[in-house]
Structure 1
Amino acid sequence: MNKKIWIIIGVAALLVLLIGLNIWKLKADSNVKIDVTTLQEKTITETVLTPGQLKLANEQIVYYTAEKGTVKEILVKEGDSVKKGAPLIRYENKQLTLEKKQNELQIKSTNLQVSDLASKRKETEKLLKDDKENEALKAELEQIKLQQQQTQIELEQLQLQKEVIQQQIAELEVKSEVDGKIVEVNEQAALASNQLEQQPVIRIGTLDDLIVEGTISEYDTLKIEKGQAVTLKSDAVPDQAWEGVVSLISDLPKQQEGLEMDGGGVQYPIQVKVEDEIELKPGFQMLIEIKTKEQKANVLPLTAVKQDGEDNYVFVVNENKAERRDVKVGSVSNKMIEIIEGVEADEQIIVDPTDEIKNGTEVTIK
């Protein structure tokens, strides 16, 4: 009997030991290892980032205009340097040529009428001088004077028509509005009058004078000024950056299609003048980076701050347990975020809390 009792006691002790080991292991597994940090006073720079597109600063784009007629001749080729006023395209308009000839004939005919009426008036006045009481001659003279007035009005109208036609003929020769270089000539665009998307026939600009166009929010317009320094980057050349300066902030917002505004709210166009030499071509997508404010602040790594709706919080280590603490944040710069209130300078904050860390989770600092 005693032997059986000792066996039972031994088995029970073994079970207790195994259960204790499992409990210890579970407790050890639930203890999360973490990295911690504390508030650091650093100089942070608030930065506005917005996408943009590289463009020619002084550019003229010439499209085919069907109202002018057909393109008779393109007078330039790609690579040509042109001055303001240089001819680019010459149109041919047969209808306008016909209207010019008709106008010339009408003016010639009207001038003949003016000359004929002047002769008749002179002859009638001469007859009336010898027969002052002749009522028929008086009536005839008044009629001639009236016809002269009407003919003169008609002649003036024809002269105005002539000026309009001359102006339209002058516009058949499209001229350069800027000094620059011909960067594109598309002869097919001059023929495709029924194309769905109109393409430029000629594009003029200079690669030595480039800008980047983008948009900023209404809030950011209050922080950015003309003349402010800009850093420009491109995903196409990730290891390079170029300097620029804000050259324009529009007073009017970018027009939205339809009545609904997009999720970003009202956007204002912005232009940045490229200050450095840049090997990228117009059309490249750029990143506009504008530093708006520098200040000293107590900061934490961005990864330390979590969001729950509109609330920001961190996990503070308190007696080997994670304590959720709401914080008020300020400026964001690079990988740091300003902490205005919520934690003290000597408190340890978990650097990158994972989803398994909750309020009260036991933690071990690595």
Structure 2
Amino acid sequence: MKKKTWIIISVISLVIIMISVSVYREVLAKGPSVETTEMKEEEISSLLMIPGTIKLEEEQIIYASPEKGELKELLVEEGQEIKSGTVVATLHNPQLELELEQNKLSIESANLRINQLDKQLKQLKDKEKTLTEQLGKGEAKKQLDPEYEQLEMEKKLANLELKQTTLQKNMIDKRQSELEIKSTIDGVVLTTKKPDTTSLENSMAEPIVHIGKLDALIANGLLSEYDTLKVSTGQKVILRSDALPEQEWQGEIAKISLLPEQNQTALQSGNQAVQYPVTMKLTGDIKALKPGFQVIMEIETDKKQANVLSINALHDDGDQPYVFIIKDGKASKKNVKTGITSGTKIEILEGLSKEDKVIIDSPDSIKDGMEVTVK
């Protein structure tokens, strides 16, 4: 009984093995299954990608100014919306008040001196009339000319003194107006902080008021000297952030600096690397973005009609890019010359025709001349 059971098991096993070998040979004969695509003529654009930082387009940063005066009062709060011209803080300067009082006295003194000289000149004219009646006009003039000259000279000096003190008053008035610190933009108060008065350095370390316009953002980045040749103002930009991977924002190049920002470390090492600051102005809905966000900026540098292929069809072993096409049921390797890349597409300059069936997402095992089955 046991012998019969073993014979049955052996027969069944042999049948299974034969079926498996048959299936394996059939699959192997057909080769691996592959998908194909064709080269198409489409619009393609080249993208330049550079890192950048989101910043406020308009902001006002106010620091303590000990040379102008001590902070007397902060008149705004964080989060407060303000208009241009709003007084945000006032300063106190006792020395300036003393100078103002001294200036008032100087002006008053100069005016009194001028009035006194005018009275003396009037008295001298009366005296001239009397002498003219007694001695004649020529003799009277001869006697009084030295006094006239003296008084006129003193009056000129008094007028110069008055002019000088008036100029001083204008300067003091200007300094007094600076005791009221005003907003220069419409915006939101981002931070307020009273200065640390323990030292001059500490008092100027942080701003006392920071105002920004949150509905106008820009992105700043750096271009290499070669990349500056590819871009110009007005070009469209797409921005993406790792903090918000599902979103993207539109913008355009607003400014490319004419002067480079040199990397001092590179200069010291002898590598004259230069980079040019570039500014992008953001458009559309930017509520999700905040100043300080790190973004990747995609700049469209070239757009044209070209023969394109899915980048998933391309192979590159470091020598020359190539693809596999279907030829007589087999995979045939063809070298190609490529152009610009845009997203999942790449420009094909040479090596393919539009009739070629190109294998995409091919398995690693595929070889030139291998039989394949098209899905």
- Shared fold (TM-score, shorter chain, > 0.5): yes
Q: Which residue of 1 aligns with 2:16?
A: none
RMSD: 4.0
Distance 2:307 2:194 in 1: 60
Quickly say closer, same or farther: Cα 1:196–1:338, change in 2 above 3 A. farther
After superposition, what is the alpha-carbon deviation per residue over 1:311-344, rounded to whole angstroms, capped at 9, x for unaligned?
x62256799999895x643211124432323566
Q: CA deviation at 1:280?
A: 3.2
CA deviation after TM superposition for structure 1 residue 143, in Å: 0.8
Q: In structure 2, do the counterparts of structure 1 residues 281 and 268 end up closer, same or farther at CA, with 3 Å as the change threshold?
A: closer
Task: Name which of 243, 248, 266 aligns with 2:254.
Answer: 248
Displacement of 1:149 = 0.9
| DSSP 3-state at the match of 2:251 | strand
When residues 163 and 248 of structure 1 are mapped into structure 2, their CA distance, relative to the original with a 3 A threshold, is: same
The alpha carbon displacement at 1:195 in A equals 3.6
Whether 1:119 and 2:129 are equivalent positions in the alignment is: no
Report if the CA contact (8 A) 1:253-1:269 is conserved.
Answer: no
**Aligned pairs for 1:150-169 within 5 A:** 150-169=157-176
Which residue, out of 205, 208, 215, partners 1:198? Answer: 205
Counterparts of residues 14-163 of structure 1 (less than 5 Å): 40-41=39-40, 43=42, 44-131=44-131, 132=137, 133-134=139-140, 135-163=142-170
Whether the 8 Å CA contact 2:91–2:179 is kept in 1: the answer is: yes
Letter in 2 for 1:249: K
Q: Give the corresponding residue for 1:181.
A: 188
Kindly state the Cα deviation for residue 233 of structure 1 after the two structures are TM-superposed.
Answer: 1.5
Label 1:177 to 1:116 Cα distance change in 2 as closer, same or farther (>3 A).
Answer: same
Which sits farther off after the overlay, 207-216 or 282-291?
Answer: 207-216
Q: 1:347 to 1:82 in 2, by over 3 A?
A: closer
Question: Within 2, Cα distance between the matches of 1:178 and 1:53?
Answer: 22
- 1:215-248 Cα deviation digits (max 9, x unpaired): 445545654442x543321111212223x23161
Q: Distance in 1 between matches of 2:192 and 2:211?
A: 9
2:240 corresponds to: 233
Partner Cα distance (1:67, 1:155) in 2: 27
Query: What amino acid is aligned across from residue 50 of structure 2 in structure 1?
Result: T
Evaluate the alpha carbon distance shift between residue 85 and residue 249 of structure 1 in structure 2; reply closer, same or farther with a 3 A threshold: same
TM-score between the two structures when normalised by the length of structure 1: 0.72
What is the Cα deviation at residue 58 of structure 1?
Answer: 2.8
Letter in 1 for 2:255: I
Q: Secondary structure at the match of 1:66?
A: coil
Determine if the alignment matches structure 1 residue 170 to structure 2 residue 169: no
Structure 2 distance, partners of 1:213, 1:89, is 31
Aligned mates of 1:177, 1:201 — CA distance in 2: 15
What is the Cα deviation at residue 170 of structure 1? 0.3
Report SS of the residue matched to 1:182. Answer: strand
Give how far 1:262 is off: 7.5
Out of 304, 321, 328, the residue aligned to residue 314 of structure 1 is 321
The whole-number CA distance in structure 2 between the counterparts of 1:322 and 1:130 is: 130
Change (3 A) 1:351 1:81: closer
Aligned-pair identity (%): 33
Q: Could you tell me how far apart the structure 2 residues matched to 1:286 and 1:211 are? A: 11
Structure 1 CA distance for aligned equivalents of residues 288 and 72 of structure 2: 36
SS of residue paired to 2:282: strand
Q: 3-state DSSP class of the match of 1:240?
A: strand
Question: Structure 2: how far apart are the matches of 1:232 and 1:188?
Answer: 37
Once residues 157 and 263 of structure 2 are traced to their aligned partners in structure 1, the CA distance between those partners, rounded to angstroms, is: 53
In structure 1, the partner of 2:342 is: 333
Query: Would you say the 8 A contact 2:219–2:282 is kept in 1?
Result: yes
Judge conservation of contact 1:71–1:91 (CA < 8 Å) in 2: yes
Q: Which amino acid aligns with 2:95?
A: Q
From the superposition, tell whether residues 267 and 306 of structure 1 become closer, same or farther in structure 2 (CA, over 3 Å): farther
Q: CA deviation at 1:284?
A: 1.2
Which residue of structure 1 aligns with residue 307 of structure 2? 297
In the alignment, the residues of structure 1 paired with residue 237 and residue 98 of structure 2 have an alpha-carbon distance, to the nearest angstrom, of 57
Q: Measure how far apart 1:186 and its partner are.
A: 2.2
- Aligned partners of 1:303 and 1:162: how far apart in 2? 80
CA deviations over 1:61-109 (Å, ceiling 9, x no partner): 2122232122111111112221111101111222222222221111111
Deviation at 1:146, TM superposition (A): 0.9
Q: Residues 306 and 313 of structure 1 are in contact (CA less than 8 Å); yes or no, is this contact kept in structure 2? A: yes
Q: How many residues align?
A: 324
Show structure 2 runs of 5+ residues with no match: 1-31, 132-136
User: In 1, distance between residues paired with 2:313 and 2:259?
Assistant: 35
Residue 313 of structure 1 aligns to a residue whose secondary structure is coil
Structure 1: unaligned runs, 5 residues or longer = 1-32
Q: Is the 8 A contact 2:238 2:248 kept in 1?
A: yes
Aligned partner letter, 2:207: P
Instruction: Provide the C-alpha distance between the structure 2 equivalents of 1:69 and 1:336, rounded to a whole number of angstroms.
Output: 63
